[in-house]
Amino acid sequence: MSQRERSALLSQIPKVDELLATDEVKRLLQCHPHEVVVEGIRNGLERIRQAILSAPKVEHIKVEIFALSNLLPLFEEEIARQVSPHLKRAINATGVVIHTNLGRSPLSERALRHVMEVSQGYSNLEYDLAQGERGSRYTHVEEILLRLSKAEGGLVVNNNAGAVLVALNTLAQGKEVIVSRGELVEIGGAFRIPEVMARSSAILREVGTTNRTRLRDYEEAIGEDTALLLKVHTSNYRVVGFTSEVTLEELVRLGKRYALPVMNDLGSGCFIDLSAYGLAKEPTVQDAVKAGADVVTFSGDKLLGGPQAGIIVGKKGLIDQIKANPLTRALRIDKLTLAALEATLVAYLSEGEAIKEIPTLRMLTAPVEQIRKRARRLQRLLKHETDNASIEVIQETSKVGGGALPLQMLPTWALGIKPHRASVQALEAELRNLDQPIIARIANGQLILDLRTIPDEEFAAICHGMTVALKKVSA
Ligand SMILES: *Cc1c(COP(=O)(O)O)cnc(C)c1O
């Protein structure tokens, strides 16, 4: 299309002021603030402008494009975009159970109910009901944490990065912390042990090599300035081949000989040994406490399956010192998190309950035959709704995610979807842009929906979303 034709079309776009004077837009003004409506109109008109600028031929632009009946839905969409929440529920069809980008662990029913209950009104967050005076927010979960971990003291902060920071700062400010070179972990999102150590004002003293560290290496590094021996769980990678590492028990014995505390950053802490459910063995929190670690830190929203939190358990004297650190105040946990965490921890009093009611554990331990049956059911439902794609039930592998069990391959069943009249890439993008986004991945030219991370309650939303998306990309 020529420059002149394009200019002529662009000049036909209605003006914002004219539109504001129409009855239809006046009705929108009754429901939404003036600024929001004006912004909605501007954005809607911008979309029309872009359509004209990118159209290869004049014929591609129909006169109806300028009609109010065509413009109104655009305005409404642009208004809705401004007033609807940006943070929204999404469907995780990736099969990565602890998906950090998708919010890690979904909360259990019990946790959700407790959050609602506690936050809808006032609470005894920092009020001692027995004494009728100021209490501590940390007491609510301490008792249950001690019961589950068999530790002497416990405390919870904002997240595990914060837990490591405040523990190092309390126990080793200006002093040396000895760590194996094989354990200088980087977790996604710029959490690196050496950098956190620097911020905590502790001095990193690396020992050993990437693949081999011996007890002697730690012992030779101990000196006047040593404050702490640190063991970091290599949660998101493994060193394999010609390796040797010092066990927590050995490190504890060494610490005792030199009167040095030993800290263990577990990363993804859990109270249940998941090897009983066919997963690889991960050290549990109780294992670390039993081995004699003086301080153990772990996340609330990884394998534990609760809210974002950093949990610290250990020897009472050291935990009390950490509690008294002003940094703890800066990293303090809020009441919504505390409520969710307390309800999650209560489930762990019975292993069976925990596996049944904590979604992360339920998904990780789901029997593969049950996943296959559910895949077939979703396939039937989808085939009933749409014939715009071929839908197969296929064998796939899920991942644990969240920097836990990095080598674990979980056999699973998925739907492999191939649109008849569109690319798989277009479908994947359209699903992400739904009101309730569906996050899926592409493999072997198919869109993969892994049933491990899709609960039955989301089947209806998947059918609806998939039908809408397939219709849109097939048009
Ligand atoms: C995940 C992880 C952290 C950080 O925990 P967040 O709760 O994400 O802050 C720290 N250390 C290790 C070993 C981890 O795996």
CB atoms within 10 A of CB 284: 20
Q: pLDDT tier at 1 (50, 70, 90 boundaries)? A: confident
pLDDT for 244: 87
What is the C-alpha to C-alpha distance for residues 280 and 72, in angstroms, rounded to an integer?
56
Nearest 5°: the CA angle 160, 163, 164 is 90
Task: Quote the ligand 1 centre to 440 CA distance (angstroms).
Answer: 25
Q: SS3 of 4, please?
A: helix
Q: Is the CB of residue 318 less than 8 Å from the CB of residue 96?
A: no
Q: pLDDT tier at 43 (50, 70, 90 boundaries)? A: very high
DSSP state of 268: S
CB atoms within 10 A of CB 24: 12
Q: What percent of the chain shows pLDDT beyond 90?
A: 85
List pLDDT tens digits, range 433-454.
999 999 999 999 999 999 999 9
Least confident of 19-28, 66-75, 228-237: 228-237
Q: Name the pTM for this structure.
A: 0.91
Task: Quote the ligand 1 centre to 277 CA distance (angstroms).
Answer: 24
For tokens 């990780």, what's the residue? 364
What is the C-alpha to C-alpha distance for residues 271 and 414, in angstroms, rounded to an integer?
30
Largest CA distance in the chain: 87
Q: Looking at this protein, which amino acid is placed at residue 177?
A: V
Query: Residue of the nearest CA to atom 14 in ligand 1?
Result: 267
Q: Is the CB of residue 103 less than 8 Å from the CB of residue 121?
A: no
Q: Looking at this protein, which amino acid is placed at residue 163?
A: A
Task: Quote the ligand 1 centre to 248 CA distance (angstroms).
Answer: 18
Query: In testing the pocket of ligand 1, which one of 98, 200, 299 has its CB within 8 Å of the most ligand atoms?
Result: 299
List pLDDT tens digits, range 174-203.
999 999 999 988 876 667 888 888 999 999
Q: SS3 of 72, please?
A: helix
Set out the domains of the chain in order of their start, with CATH numbers.
3-83 (no CATH), 91-99+364-474 (3.90.1150.180), 108-357 (3.40.640.10)
Task: Quote the ligand 1 centre to 264 CA distance (angstroms).
Answer: 12
Q: Is the CB of residue 400 less than 8 Å from the CB of residue 100?
A: no
pLDDT for 438: 98
pLDDT for 407: 80
Q: Beta strand 176-180 with 226-232: parallel, antiparallel or unpaired? A: parallel
What is the C-alpha to C-alpha distance for residues 227 and 171, in angstroms, rounded to an integer?
7
Mean pLDDT computed over 159-171: 96
Least confident of 61-70, 160-169, 371-380: 61-70
- E strands, 66-202, in order: 91-92, 96-98, 127-128, 133-134, 153-157, 176-180, 186-187, 191-192
List pLDDT tens digits, range 77-127.
999 999 999 999 999 999 999 999 999 999 999 999 999 999 999 999 999
What is the C-alpha to C-alpha distance for residues 197 and 195, in angstroms, rounded to an integer?
5
Q: SS3 of 387, please?
A: coil
